[in-house]
Every structure is written in structure tokens, then in C-alpha cells.
Amino acid sequence: MRQVFPGSAGQPFPALTTLIEHYGSGGAAPDLLLLGDSVSERIANEDADRRTLHQMMIDRVTSARSCLAISHTAYQPAIYRDLMEALARLPRSPHVVMLPINPRAFSPQWHGSPLWALDQERAAIRAHLADPDQPIAPIADVEAGDGFFDQFDQTRVRLQLSSLTRNGDLRAISLVPTDNPAEQKVRYRELFAWHYAYAFDESHPKLLALRDAITLIGKMNATAVCYLTPINVEAGLDVHGRRFQDVAAALAERIARALAPALDAGGHRFADLSAALGREFFFKNNLATEHLNARGRDKLAAAATGLLI
């Protein structure tokens, strides 16, 4: 199965051009900037309410705030940091930046994947910072052809809830859905381990990038409002038992502890919402990612915008 990470259809890098459009002039600028990944964009096929998470957030706060939302599949702390560096060079800035933190972004499943490296996006930002007068580059599609994942697949991983030790073995399991209940349990057991039961420390590049993003927001005299996006803990309990709940809670605590100095230095806000939603609020009851149905998006929108009070 060939995978394609979509580019910008020939248009200049949209996230960067949007920031410049709204904060690069002397006019009124959006008060609240919402950042996000696919959690902010995905809608379940069965949803009657077709609003994205960001649309639900904006509907809750637009009577009091002007808003701008920037999100894309696989956005993560490194691109947030680079976008905040670009924003810091512009004449205007938001008062509040909503910065979601997806616990899976630090995992070997996501962090090392060449499909989600965002190299073109980050290069476009660096080129703009070096010479703002040059045209902003478009982003080409990234296609995972033959050999694309070879290095990634050979990378060794250390997981608390799995005996598998290479990304390739875990990726192979992720690519083969099954209707057999016993095989499903094995598959989801490995996926939940790959996504959330990893070992990392405060030197993780994306954790450092996240701290830098928060610091940059503070230097703009803005407030970062950070939250951990929900994990389907109940589904993880089904395949791993109580150990998964303990592992997920420890992961959230490590992230919060690592960010505390940057958050405290700027008077920013943080909420751990990683265990806030039951399985019924995800696309599927056994989903091993963070994508929420309409009820889940509404609950997360309420919790996240509640941090603005």
C-alpha cells in the first residue's frame, strides 16, 4: 500500500502565508491563534455535526475573541516552533496561542517517520526567515515509494508493553487490518504500545521544540494555552489491562514535568486532557489514535476553551 502525504497543490506553504496575511500588516489581527494536527481536522463518517474541532472552538469564543486556526495532519512541536519563530518576526501577534500536545507525537511511530518529517515545510520557513522578500515555496506531495521506509523500519525501539524491537515489525502490523477478534486484540495491543508505551526523556527533540515554542510565545507577550490531547485509555485497558492506564498516566506526567519550567516562566496554562474522554467519544471504540467523533470534539472544545477563562 503506497502512502502519500499531501502537499499544498502548488500553492505557497499555506500555514506560513496565512500567518503573514493576518499578522504581517498594521491592521487588526486575530486575538486567538489555534494550532493543531489531524485531531483538529478529522470528522467521522457517521457524524451529523460536520464541524471540525477548531470550528467548534471558534463557535464557542467568537463573541469575545477574533480567531485564526492553522492545522494540518501530522503537525507537531517542531513545526509549531518554526511557525512561532516566523510569527515572532511579524509586526503583530495574537494575545493567546492554543497549543495542543499530542502524546503520540513523541513516539517512535510518529517521531521518526519520514512521511511526517515536514522537511519541506520547515525549509520554507527557514528560507522565509533568511529572506522575507523571496516567494514562499509550495509543498510537494510526499509519496512513500519503494525503500522509503527502509531506514525507519530498521530503527530499534524500546517499548514497555511490547516485545517487538523494530519499527518495521510494528509498522507491518499496523498495515494489516483484520476482522478476526483474536488477531485484532494482538494488533491493537501492539499499536497502543507503539503509540504510547515508549521511553523518552527531556532531551527528546520534539520536547525541546515544544519548550522553544512556548518560550517564543512568551517573548511575543502572548499566553500559551497548552493541553494534552485525549488518548483512548479505555481501549488500551482492554488489550493491556491496568498497566496501560499506568503507562499513559506516566507519559502525561513526564510531558507536564518537562514543560513546567517554560510554562511557569511565562505564566502560561496547561491542562492534561489525555484521559478526559471515554472510548465512546472516538471514531471507533477500539481506536488507537486520537481522532474524535462529534461528541468527543464538542467535549474537547469545551474543555480547551474553558482554559481561556
Q: In the chain, where are the structural domains located?
A: 4-306
Tell me which residue of 172, 281, 185 sits closest to 236, measured CA to CA.
185
Q: Are 190 and 239 in contact (CB under 8 A)?
A: no
Q: Are 76 and 206 in contact (CB under 8 A)?
A: yes
Cα separation, 266 vs 277, in Å, equals 29
- The CA–CA distances, whole Å, from 158 to 90, 164, 168, 248, 299 equal 42, 8, 13, 16, 34
Identify the CATH homologous superfamily for domain 4-306. SGNH hydrolase (3.40.50.1110)
Residue 73 C-alpha from the chain's centroid: 8
Any idea which residue has 492534561 for its cell?
A: 272
pLDDT the model gives residue 64: 78
pLDDT the model gives residue 34: 98
**Positions in the chain whose pLDDT score sits under 70:** 1, 309
Helix or strand (DSSP H, E) at 226: strand 223-228
Phi, psi of 228 (to 5 degrees): -80, 130
pLDDT the model gives residue 25: 87
pLDDT the model gives residue 156: 97
pLDDT the model gives residue 63: 80
Cα separation, 139 vs 245, in Å, equals 39
Cα separation, 232 vs 38, in Å, equals 15
User: pLDDT tens across 60-96, in order?
Assistant: 998 878 999 999 999 999 999 999 999 999 999 999 9
142-143 vs 4-5, strand pairing mode = antiparallel
Cα separation, 39 vs 269, in Å, equals 20
Question: CB-based contacts of 173: which residues, under 8 Å, 6+ apart?
Answer: 186, 187, 190, 191
Any idea how long the chain is?
309
